[in-house]
Structure 1
Amino acid sequence: MKHLFYLFLIIAFTSCNINSNLMFKNIDNSDIVVKDSIPMTPEESYRMSVNDRFSFELYPQDGEQIVENTGQTQLSTKSLDYTIRPDGKAELPVIGDVHLAGLTIEACEDTLEYYFSFTHQNPFVQVKVLNKRVIVFPGNGGEAKVVNLINENTTLMEVLAMAGGIAERGKAKSIKILRAVEDHREVYEIDLSTIDGLAYTDMVIQANDYIYIAPTKEITRGVLREVTPLIGIITSSLAIITIFSKL
């Protein structure tokens, strides 16, 4: 009986470590989690930010060579990429430092066309952001993945597929999307465990979103994992004490 009491104490002591890796738990009566009015498409275009890497192509004459295929070469290549520094500027050939942080891609193209107009006739610029990505936690610890958004308007279902789907422990009914909005992150909670969840599979994912799939709690396995080594130590200690007590 005494041994059972000690075992109960061990389990109670170690249980605080079980499932301690779970993240983003809901706070009671929290108003930061949005379950209704989830935006299916971006409310505004992506804005370039500090540390973004991008490339651009520059064509003269409003890009007429793209349409007419005149054989001229563009004045810049995709192989070159540039980074927006902490001051919000990027150093570009010919025109030097240009402030780009906070601009949409369209506004960035207009800005570069303006600056290059001083050195080239009727420039046409195409900009591509190279590091648009999201972080996906599929539901198993230690399996987080960074997914690059190669295409515009990439959907939630596409991102989950690129991340390998929902993990074995993942709860399809508890998927959180944490999105940067101004100076905070809004949390959208989605349930894909039923057919009704199809309404949200086409939700457009934005760069820098976090997608967190809550894992199923492992109570029994967690207790065994925590308690087994201690039981082994106690059993060995009791065996040694018993042996010496008989000497």
Structure 2
Amino acid sequence: MLKTANILYAIIMLLFLSACGINSDIMFRSPKGEHQNKKSQYYEIVNPDSLPKEREEDYRLTVDDRLTLTVSPNDGKQIIESVTGTGDQTASNGNIFRNMEYTIRTDGYARLPLISDIHLSGLTIKQAEDSLRKYYSEYYIDPFIIIKVVNKRVIVFPGGGGDAKVIYLKNNNTRLMEVLAEAGGLATRGKSKSVKLMRFVDNKRIIIPIDLSTLDGLAYADIIVQGNDYIYVEPHPRVVREALQQATPFLSFVTSILLLLNYFK
């Protein structure tokens, strides 16, 4: 009788220990007793209504941005001629540095042809184009400048293990719903009422909790996402299923021991 009690006690302890690993894959759990506008050293939880639905300012270049640069003299005349097929072969080859990639270093500078290092971090694309136009005017007549950022991306966790995706933004006005759609939508396990948009602002992440489970969520579906945003959909906890998965090996082991003990009794 005592042996049986000890075995049952061991089973209970094993189940308790296995429960510690249940739903351990869920990240970014909200602290207990949270409230709106909660602040810490690393993050701030804000009300989604405080987030502008439209972009308030143009995207600003930052460290590790990869840029493509197109320089065309005569105010872009050669670009038009290359598209329409007019002009001679020399004119069609008049685009300089077209679509070559350059990276903004950690010091905020990028090395570009002819003008060497130039500080671009913190500038909007228009400001950067205007600045480069002045530099390249020393080498070309009326240079037409086009800058594109090719690695603006958003990381999406749709609510299922192994389903995370990196979505590259193709334009400056990409909406939250577009990004979720491009990521394949919410996973089966994802909680539509618990979507967290995480954005880096003033050296910390602001956390915007969004509820998309009802039609009221349409008020936030058109929020414009920005490069380096995180979109995290909290998954539904699977307590029973994961508890069984965790406990099955232990139960099999204990069952085998009990069978052996019963056999040699």
TM-score normalized by the length of structure 2 = 0.86
Structure 1 residue matching 2:97: 3-state secondary structure:
coil
Cα displacement (A) at 1:66: 4.9
Q: Distance in 1 between matches of 2:123 and 2:153?
A: 18
Of stretches 213-222 and 59-68 in structure 1, the one that deviates more from structure 2 is: 59-68
Contact 2:59–2:172 (CA<8 Å) still a contact in 1? no
Cα displacement (A) at 1:11: 2.1
**Of the candidates 56, 73, 78, which is equivalent to residue 43 of structure 1?**
56
Contact 1:42–1:206 (CA<8 Å) still a contact in 2? no
Deviation string 1:53-98 (CA, Å, 9 cap, x unpaired) is 11011122333455676633322212x1111122221111111111
**Of the candidates 3, 14, 18, which is equivalent to residue 14 of structure 1?**
18
**Residues 240 and 4 (structure 1 numbering): CA distance in 2 closer, same or farther, change over 3 Å?**
closer
Deviation string 1:20-58 (CA, Å, 9 cap, x unpaired) is 111111122351222332221233322212211110111
Partner of 1:26: 30
Partner of 1:75: 96
Structure 2 residue matching 1:193: 3-state secondary structure:
coil
The count of aligned residue pairs is: 244
Deviation string 1:175-233 (CA, Å, 9 cap, x unpaired) is 00000112111011111100111111111111110000000001001100110011111
Residue 194 (structure 2) pairs with residue 174 (structure 1): yes
Residue 61 (structure 2) pairs with residue 56 (structure 1): no
Cα displacement (A) at 1:162: 0.4
Contact 1:113–1:123 (CA<8 Å) still a contact in 2? yes
Residue 116 (structure 2) pairs with residue 96 (structure 1): yes
Counterpart mapping for 1:173-212 below 5 A: 173-212=193-232
Contact 2:194–2:233 (CA<8 Å) still a contact in 1? yes
- 5+ unaligned residues in a row in structure 2: which ranges? 39-43
Structure 2 residue matching 1:77: 3-state secondary structure:
strand
Cα displacement (A) at 1:114: 1.5
Q: Distance in 1 between matches of 2:220 and 2:8?
A: 50
Contact 2:23–2:237 (CA<8 Å) still a contact in 1? yes
Cα displacement (A) at 1:4: 4.7
Contact 1:83–1:90 (CA<8 Å) still a contact in 2? yes
TM-score normalized by the length of structure 1 = 0.92
Q: Distance in 2 between matches of 1:81 and 1:74?
A: 15
The percent identity for this pair of structures is 48
Contact 2:194–2:234 (CA<8 Å) still a contact in 1? yes
Please tell me the residue identity of whatever aligns with 1:75.
I
Q: Distance in 2 between matches of 1:111 and 1:16?
A: 57
Q: Distance in 2 between matches of 1:229 and 1:95?
A: 66
